[in-house]
């Protein structure tokens, strides 16, 4: 059975941090399809195919991080209905998540179980 057949949830994780990628790889149940992008450019290409239900993006990814990706999504109208979880370095950056229009945020380091719960909650709301 394909990962999309059970829950039908497709997650795109955007990070160039190997720790984030590793945590996300094992955080979700087997019936959640998880794809990865190293930067905003790769993320935009993957979002263009329409096969994504939620985006998890690191604020500090590549030359244009999570903030710029979300603002670009809003500006171009591409994937604006897709919930976005922004990963922050510190709690003091929560205002960036609010200003970007992110659906939620988490402060690193991540707890894989909490990451999965937050993503699944975003998909069900």
Helices (H) and strands (E) counted in the chain, each on its own, are: 6, 5
Residue 75 pLDDT level (bands cut at 50, 70, 90): low
What's the rounded Cα separation, in Å, for the pair 35 and 47?
Answer: 11
pLDDT value at position 77?
62
Span 76-113, pLDDT tens digits: 665 568 899 999 999 998 998 888 888 999 999 999 99
Establish how many alpha carbons lie within 13 A of residue 43's alpha carbon, considering only the half-sphere containing its beta carbon: 30
- What does the pLDDT average to over 5-34? 89
What's the rounded Cα separation, in Å, for the pair 110 and 27?
Answer: 10
pLDDT above 90 for 56: yes
pLDDT above 60 for 3: no
What's the rounded Cα separation, in Å, for the pair 29 and 69?
Answer: 26
Domains of the chain, start order = 3-124 (3.40.50.2300)
Q: What is the DSSP letter of 110?
A: P
Name the residue among 86, 29, 32, 79 with its Cα closest to residue 60: 86
């Amino acid at each position: 059975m394909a990962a999309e057949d059970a829950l039908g949830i497709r997650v795109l994780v955007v990070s160039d941090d190997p720790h984030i990628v590793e945590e996300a790889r094992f955080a979700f149940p087997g019936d959640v399809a998880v794809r990865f992008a190293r930067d905003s450019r790769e993320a935009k290409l993957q979002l263009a195919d329409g096969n994504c239900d939620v985006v998890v993006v690191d604020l500090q990814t590549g030359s244009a991080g999570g903030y710029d990706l979300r603002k670009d999504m809003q500006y171009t109208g591409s994937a604006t209905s897709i919930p976005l979880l922004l990963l922050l370095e510190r709690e003091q950056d929560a205002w960036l998540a609010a200003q970007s229009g992110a659906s939620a945020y988490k402060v690193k380091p991540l707890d894989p179980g909490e990451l999965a719960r937050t993503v699944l909650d975003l998909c069900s709301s």
